[in-house]
Structure 1
Amino acid sequence: MIFPTKLITNSNGQTFLYELQQAFENCERFYFSVAFINYSGLQLLLDNLKDLRERGVQGKIMTSTYLNFTEPKALKKIRNFDNVELRVFEADHTKGFHSKVYIFENKDDFKIMIGSSNITQSALKSNVEWNVEIVSKAEGQFLEKVIKEYRELWDQCTVADDLFLQSYQRFIENLRSHSARVSGSSFSYGDAEMQRIMPNQMQKQAMENLERLRNHGEKRALVISATGTGKTYMAAFDVRQLHPDTLLYIVHREEILVKAKETFERLLGRGNMGLFTGNEKDYEGKKYVFTTIQTIKDHFRDFTPDHFKYLIVDEAHHATSPSYTKVLDYFNPDFLLGMTATPERCDNGDIFGLFDNNIAVEVRLNEALEEDLVLPFHYFGITDIEGIDLSDISIDNVAEVAKRLEVNRRVDFIIDKMNFYGYDGETCKCLGYCVTRDHAQYMADEFNKRGIDSVCLTGGDSQQYRQETIRRLEDDLDPLQVIFTVDIFNEGVDIPSVNLVLMLRPTNSPIIFMQQLGRGLRKYQGQSFLTVLDFIGNHSKTFLIAIALSGKRFYDKDSLKVAVKRGFPDLPGATHIQMDKISQQQIIQQLDMENFRTMKYLKDEYLEFKKEYIRVTKRDVPNYLMDYVRFEHAPDPVKFIDHKKSYLEFLAAVEKAEAFQRLSQTEPFRQLLRQLSAFLPVKRPHEFIILRYLVTHERISYEKAENELLKVMDSVTEETLIHAFERLNQTYDDHAQIDRDLKLCIYDRQHHQLNRTSIYGEICADEQQKLYILDVLNYGLYRYSRQFGSKNYGVPFLKLYEQYTTKDLGPLINFKKKLSAFRGSTIPNGNDYYLFVDLNKDEDLKESIKYKDQFISPKVFQWETPNSTSQETKQGRRLIHNKKYGINLYLFVRKFKVIDNNTEPYIYLGKGDVTRFQGNKPITTDITLHHEVPMSLYLEFTTKV
């Protein structure tokens, strides 16, 4: 008998890897037949194979030499498991081998997965793959046929013994050597090559946004993009589409200038480009000039201010330094583009302000992974050895932490795990992050004693010695395998060939954790993934690992717990995160106990961020919300605002500085700052765009407001822009709101314009107060752009799967009544009904009124109407026959009403129609959604931790 089948694809949070791992947990025997096995895929299954060995579960794996894709290294690793028999089908030109079948023999049935996935990281996690799962009883023709075919194929295969593996290894090495010689040939740049190079997704988005900004009058913009994602190519593509008459390209370091020029020549052709450096002055008569800041700062007056029509600053985090400032102040190009991977390393001043707060695109690690712009990483969270106790000390006490970690048995444990998980490639190139210099030296000494060539490298070593050590690690012929360090590789250092990272220190900063991990993510020839081994101790801040790995700046506790339990399914591409069960339990328990909303937690989070901020920027205090934008994985400052009504008041409470306290109590500035901060996070940009313009202008017309909006949006809906004018006019505020809030604008309907009030003008006239007002507005618009992009969502202005509160909804649907009338769990607005549903009900609710609201499937949601609703009432009929009456149902769902004493937002699931109903007072309905809920979100809603 065959039970219902399941289609498994690598999409919407579902992966074939996860389904395989679930099948491993219950099986009593297993049989695989896959065409290809490489180490990137096998590494993801090593812990499962180890668990099966410990349980005494036997298995057979059959693979092939078809297309020479199977890696000898992967076969050797499988041979280490004495519970697994391994055979290889020797394919030739007459007969290939392309099967992909995974058979699990359970106590009462067989689970069979047949489809397209081989054992590679991409096939298991990210490729477009279709696999079907079939559950079959132990008897039946289908199962008999499968087993018969498997046995016959097994008998045709070669046993993968030492002799076979040695022979196959030599064959692959010879093949690679031949391929390398062939691929080493090249042909000159020309039309064919120019046509082959196409922009990636980041580059396309940047070009579109730059074009939109220019079309609406902007003259400056900044691109923030992770190392290795193609910023130089993006600039060259933009120059190719714009065709400026002249160009000046400025870099900070001469060694990357030639590469930048070559990139432009590859796309645009040779002949019109020249270098202007201390060593080479080949720029006379050239349209496009490539220079270093060291050269141009002494020669910029050799050109007229308007000579260059397009000016590009690479490594733009240096652009606020004095040497750049005098150059940029002199030139007057039609457009100025800045590019940086590390805005947090800004020398001084305001990098965002320098580029008029126009961020054309921001590609941080998560986006880079999703677009396959950097290497995926395989993270393994490993519970540290017994006997090392960090539970009774602060992890900021680095000397004591280091002392407790310097244990010989721990060194052996680390090496054992390195050998078990391995790395991509033939030679180990490892970075080990330690607590102190003494700890790093101890680790290097102990590794050397055990025959693993290692060095200690810290900030105390000379720049020359650092560069020489990095060169040694990159050299395949040098015996050096491991560099142990403390913090010098957190950012700004690129070691592309690194294939293994060891986290040997407790995590107390998500920022530093991800910076260290990121050192090995630049794409490198022949490398397909980075291995990260994190040795997790029993200290009190273990849960910070979950925050770092979640890939989200904005999160809630329950989402983190589900992510830990399910292996962070939201992470894109072939990136894989796996924690052992002890680490999982420890982190989930800590998340349960921690309250992310207490002032103590918020203060600790702020102070930890402040330490990193001071270390990188050399400034005293992160004064502004935009300081958090510069740092990837910085905490969410809106939580600070929620606690103290404005960021400035939070600073005053934490820093105790008289200047902050005095300014934060200055009225009416304090009231305005609170009023604007209450909008955060912004759910539509219209009001903040208008208010930002009115900081420096007396009035704004409808046409001007539309133009300002079109700098950040693809189109503007007239009805929504007028609603924003009316909202800023307090047209829809009730008496309590009018009494509480400052009136900032007056709507002049006759002239179709909005005038700022005198009080708003007076506050903005004070330079110090204006900086804080602009900071809130710029941060709100930045965060809006990151979450919502440039799309015009129309009316209602809602994006699928984003978070909303009932308070947010009024403006987003252009509600034209007093907002005090906007309440309840079922809110009608003409023919639109907005349904707000809590999945987990309050414990103190009577059983008789607990609604049975739940997901039936990712496509169908069961919803019970309010208790008073019957099928005979007008509202009841309009709900259950919504399509007949032309009623639009919009569904918002949240898992919990309150977490950490904070009211949670709802997730917008889109429109739906009632397709089944029964009962009365309440009516139980099935709402079929227009869009199936992504599997990752569905599992988050339905998983209990």
Structure 2
Amino acid sequence: MKENLLNAYERGFIDKYTNKTSHYPPELIINTNGRNLLSPLLDALEICEDFIISVAFITEGGLATLKTALYELSLRGVKGKIITSTYLNFNKPKVFKELLKIPNIEIRITDQVGFHAKGYIFENKSYSTMFIGSSNLTDTALKKNYEYNLKLTSLDNGEVIQYFKSQFFKLWDSSKILDENWINKYEVIYLENANENKILELLETQNPYHNDNRDLSKEITPNIMQEEALDSLKNLRVSGETKGLIISATGTGKTFLSAFDVKRFKPKTVLFIAHREQILIKTLNDYRDLIGGDHSDYGIYSGSSKKVNAKYMFATIQTFSKNKNLEQFSKDAFDYIVIDEAHRSSAESYKRIIDYFEPKFLLGMTATPERTDGNDIFALFDFNIAYEIRLQKALEAEMLSPFHYFGVTDYIVEGKVINEKSTLYQLVDEDRINHIIDKLNYYSYEGEIVRGLMFVSSREEAINLSISLNGRGFKTKALTGLDSQEERNEAVKNLERGQLEYLITVDIFNEGVDIPSVNQVVMLRQTESSIIFIQQLGRGLRKHKNKKFLTVIDFIGNYKNNYLIPVALTGDKSFNKDSLRRDVVEGNLITGQSTINFEHVAKERIYKSISKAKVDSLANLKKMYLYTKDKVGRIPTLMDLYHDKDSMDPMIILNKYDNYLEFLIKIKEVTNSTENVHNKILMFISKELTDGKRLTEILLLEELLDGQVNKFEFQKKIRGQGYFMNDSTMNSIIRMLCLEFFTKQKKKKYQFPLIRIDSDEISLSEEFKESIKNEDFRNQINDLFSLAHINSKSYNQKNQLTLYEKYSRADVCRLLNWETDESSTIYGYKTKYNTSPIFVNYHKTEDVDESVRYEDMFLDTHVFQWYTRKGTDLNSKINKDLLEGYQTKTSTIHLFVKRDDDEGAYHYYVGEVDIDIESMENTMIGAKDNKHKVAKMNFILKNAMEYNMFRFITGSK
């Protein structure tokens, strides 16, 4: 440890080019380029055994980012201390109340004059991690603001760490203990200085896009995103198009965008169609504020009002789509028509209007075009997607309120975890309600008054939960589809006035309801779809003058659809299971100030759901395929699927079917199968090369499409372009494309080599050369090549293997330039061709024989404890080969680890390792009456494992 730290400090402060092995390097963190202080801070917090924090300023948002980690630490009995202050009266009384809710931290308040310290120390058994810099405990300082923070690692007897601790505890002893009496007194002082506090808060959390309280005396101007959309709409019309579709997340200003475009277009008449009159009233007012003109120019056309001569007409679909009403107007009565919630436009009522009128321009607006259920809304707008702004992009542009999402563990009632089959009795069990209240209290909300929405699974649950919560002092109301619009409107008003704390509903608030003041969304039901999840989340994402962030509390039971949670939160709709797992681990990488936090048990339930999810079912693949087809208006290519970020990863298709054409035949998109040779070649490229793990085969084939290639010239060119290349690699490429690398079974499967070699000259095989004369086949090949290029960007092509990417044993044989695929005989590890790949299944299943349930484990992020194969010790040939290759430096050891069997045949590459020679020993494993000899040793990773990957691999099953 000491030597590694010395090497790390030499690299960090003396010579960055040193080649000494080092771990725990000093690091300057600035909250730029996707890197922020929060992630390493949480990493250190989650594994510590004690912590002390000294910060001048704390906000509710900053505290929220740590609450899940602090909760998990409390379960382990880990405690910490925080010193903060009343410096400049920045800290709100509410934040001190929130601090008191956290059972495993002690808080003291210092009166030190000019206290402006920012320091975090997390202690472990043999070392401490320290963050010193400019970041207070605020969500802006941890994730957004341009800050300087230095991360340092020290042994316990380091002078700097000892001095920090001595000064901390000196201050601690002289500081006041935080309790309710102290808060009550501070609250009086704080309120007396309210105006000054507000100015300070704005300086800390300034947001140039925050314009909720716009001054209507000033001109309303479009924001950056709206400007881009307006330019796109203009270009669409310049190209001769008369229809366009805007896809824009809830709360991003679709209505104002349409008004801006109307203002620029200057139509004589406008028709705006929506499905609720209350939406029309607000839209009319927004249009009038922005465009201006006489009040008589604006009119509502609905069941209760039918102003037929308005220049700007706002109509409900239910009334306006009736034939007798439509026929009052000529087909060219409106120059510009806007269809709000355009995902509904495939319904007969909407189509009736679209088919009847002939406007100069038709604009559709929706947040969720996926809600088509097979109906093609894209065709209604001539496949013209003028602009898209989804949740992630909107958060990045600060058009929405940031949010802190907490995936919490739902309650176990009578030994059963809440799931989609739970009875009403279980859902409203007294202990579950106590559990819900505990979580609501702990994760809380921003501000002085809670204005919350609760989404539950049924009308009966909504009613019973409301009764139970009201009986415990809460102010709630259940709203269901049986309640009238007037009752719903009144309930919303009461929530906004503070007369109600929660509205409890099933799904009537999924869309069409605008309550910007909502500061807490509670999800007490399974995630039925990522679309509904985002709709319900969106109810709280509109900005409001009294809301700095939204709190989302999601009670995660044992639901089969839990895998849709990371799909919804991250916008990753590829349905790539590896991506979904990483999304859960790296949740705090969400854009802007927002954070995603999962309690440990909740996270494990999501992992389990991801593993069991049938994302590659034919029904799911067909659904996503048809969505992209509707978008592009033709049979999509693999690259179309890739570029459609709302669709699936095309590799899911290629991993399940021999090739894309087979899938198209399966879903009856095409009826004619291709020639056998075409099918075999497409299969080979799809299965072996398109993943992009080594792009050089593809690069060679691309050159061969234009003619013969000299082997040595190709090697020289590829090496010059920065790709990993040596004689062994070139030989491996040739053996791959000639099928010589493969087993007899695989050779029979692929049948046709792609190349032939004559001395040093390489050319396409006769079968491949003849096949590419077919235009359709050539296009399919080019499509696969393009996808391979895209996929290759995930891999460091300068190296044979890429850290933290997944490989099968066959991949490793190929990429380490083994002459043949020997994956079937690698029983955990094998030394050959100057390489020793080692494969470890980290969490063995319970049914694995006790005699082979080894204790392979990471001791920390850079040391891995490893056991040799059952029945072998240091004197066994297989282990002698391993050690001899390492000690003579003729062989490199590569470590591959998978979390558990749910990962399938693929292991994550965690890098080259050295052997700690002193750790080697012979030992015995197994049950008492069934012992087997093994050898045990520690591997030292040449690159310390990234903590997110470490946390994912080592997390309990």
Q: 2:239 is matched with which residue?
A: 216
Cα offset, 1:580, TM superposition: 2.4
Structure 2 counterparts to residues 643-722 of structure 1, below 5 A: 665=671
Which residue of the other structure, out of 555, 580, 595, is the alignment partner of 1:576? 595
8 A Cα contact 2:29 2:36, kept in partner: yes
1:169-222 per-position Cα deviation (integer Å, ceiling 9, x unaligned): 2344465589999999999755xx33x84513x324323432433343333211
Instruction: Give the distance between the partners of 1:454 and 1:70, measured in 2 at CA.
Output: 30
Closer, same or farther in 2 for the Cα pair 1:344/1:550, shift >3 Å? Answer: closer
1:122 equivalenced with 2:143 (yes/no): no
Instruction: Give the distance between the partners of 2:547 and 2:502, measured in 1 at CA.
Output: 18
8 A Cα contact 1:384 1:537, kept in partner: yes
Instruction: Give the distance between the partners of 1:244 and 1:511, measured in 2 at CA.
Output: 35
8 A Cα contact 1:8 1:16, kept in partner: yes
Which residue of the other structure, out of 291, 312, 332, is the alignment partner of 1:305? 332
Structure 2 counterparts to residues 5-404 of structure 1, below 5 A: 5-11=26-32, 14-53=35-74, 57=78, 59-81=80-102, 84-89=105-110, 96-139=114-157, 142-143=160-161, 145-147=163-165, 150=168, 158-173=176-191, 189=216, 193-194=218-219, 197=221, 199-200=223-224, 202-238=225-261, 242=264, 244=266, 246=268, 248-252=270-274, 253-257=276-280, 259-260=282-283, 263=286, 274-278=297-301, 289-292=312-315, 298=325, 305=332, 308=335, 310-319=336-345, 328=354, 332-344=358-370, 350-388=376-414, 397=421, 400-404=422-426
Matched AA of 1:289: Y
Closer, same or farther in 2 for the Cα pair 1:425/1:557, shift >3 Å? Answer: same
1:896-923 per-position Cα deviation (integer Å, ceiling 9, x unaligned): 9x9999999999xxxxxxxxxxxxxxxx
8 A Cα contact 1:320 1:348, kept in partner: no
8 A Cα contact 1:803 1:905, kept in partner: no
Closer, same or farther in 2 for the Cα pair 1:149/1:389, shift >3 Å? Answer: closer
Matched AA of 1:205: E
Aligned residue pair count: 731
Matched AA of 1:217: G
Cα offset, 1:561, TM superposition: 2.5
Further displaced range: 60-69 or 733-742: 733-742
Instruction: Give the distance between the partners of 2:159 and 2:908, measured in 1 at CA.
Output: 49
Matched AA of 1:417: K
Which residue of the other structure, out of 565, 569, 585, is the alignment partner of 2:604? 585
Instruction: Give the distance between the partners of 2:62 and 2:610, measured in 1 at CA.
Output: 31
Which residue of the other structure, out of 557, 575, 579, is the alignment partner of 2:577? 557
Which residue of the other structure, out of 435, 439, 457, is the alignment partner of 1:413? 435
Corresponding residue SS for 2:226: helix
Cα offset, 1:304, TM superposition: 8.6
Matched AA of 1:847: T
Q: 1:488 is matched with which residue?
A: 508
Q: What residue ranges of structure 1 are gaps of 5+ in the alignment?
A: 614-622, 654-659, 684-731, 748-775, 785-794, 807-823, 828-833, 855-893, 908-934
Corresponding residue SS for 2:832: helix
Corresponding residue SS for 1:77: helix
1:794-835 per-position Cα deviation (integer Å, ceiling 9, x unaligned): x999669866999xxxxxxxxxxxxxxxxx9999xxxxxx99
1:528 equivalenced with 2:555 (yes/no): no
Matched AA of 1:409: D
Structure 2 counterparts to residues 410-559 of structure 1, below 5 A: 410-476=432-498, 478=499, 480-538=500-558, 541-559=561-579
Corresponding residue SS for 1:62: strand
Q: 2:929 is matched with which residue?
A: none
Instruction: Give the distance between the partners of 1:51 and 1:102, measured in 2 at CA.
Output: 18
Q: 1:848 is matched with which residue?
A: 832
Instruction: Give the distance between the partners of 1:539 and 1:325, measured in 2 at CA.
Output: 37
Corresponding residue SS for 1:848: coil
Cα offset, 1:231, TM superposition: 1.6
8 A Cα contact 2:481 2:508, kept in partner: yes
1:561-609 per-position Cα deviation (integer Å, ceiling 9, x unaligned): 3333x24244222332222223333443554466644x4xx54888999
Closer, same or farther in 2 for the Cα pair 1:116/1:506, shift >3 Å? Answer: same
8 A Cα contact 1:836 1:906, kept in partner: no
Instruction: Give the distance between the partners of 1:410 and 1:609, measured in 2 at CA.
Output: 41
Cα offset, 1:553, TM superposition: 0.3
Corresponding residue SS for 1:847: coil
8 A Cα contact 1:567 1:578, kept in partner: no
Instruction: Give the distance between the partners of 2:83 and 2:429, measured in 1 at CA.
Output: 42
Cα offset, 1:381, TM superposition: 2.6
Corresponding residue SS for 2:388: strand
Cα offset, 1:637, TM superposition: 8.7
Closer, same or farther in 2 for the Cα pair 1:458/1:304, shift >3 Å? Answer: closer
Corresponding residue SS for 1:292: strand
Instruction: Give the distance between the partners of 1:743 and 1:282, measured in 2 at CA.
Output: 57
Instruction: Give the distance between the partners of 1:368 and 1:117, measured in 2 at CA.
Output: 25
Q: What is the TM-score when the length of structure 1 is the normalising length?
A: 0.62
Matched AA of 2:505: T
Corresponding residue SS for 2:63: helix
How well do the aligned residues superpose, as a CA RMSD in angstroms?
Answer: 6.0
Cα offset, 1:37, TM superposition: 0.8
Cα offset, 1:409, TM superposition: 1.5
Matched AA of 1:464: E
Instruction: Give the distance between the partners of 2:212 and 2:772, measured in 1 at CA.
Output: 73
Matched AA of 2:52: Y
8 A Cα contact 2:526 2:562, kept in partner: yes
8 A Cα contact 2:420 2:526, kept in partner: no
8 A Cα contact 1:12 1:936, kept in partner: no
Matched AA of 1:413: H
Matched AA of 2:256: Y
Closer, same or farther in 2 for the Cα pair 1:162/1:739, shift >3 Å? Answer: closer
Corresponding residue SS for 1:20: helix
Instruction: Give the distance between the partners of 2:778 and 2:374, measured in 1 at CA.
Output: 38
Cα offset, 1:117, TM superposition: 1.9
Closer, same or farther in 2 for the Cα pair 1:174/1:347, shift >3 Å? Answer: farther
Q: What is the TM-score when the length of structure 2 is the normalising length?
A: 0.61
Instruction: Give the distance between the partners of 2:33 and 2:191, measured in 1 at CA.
Output: 38
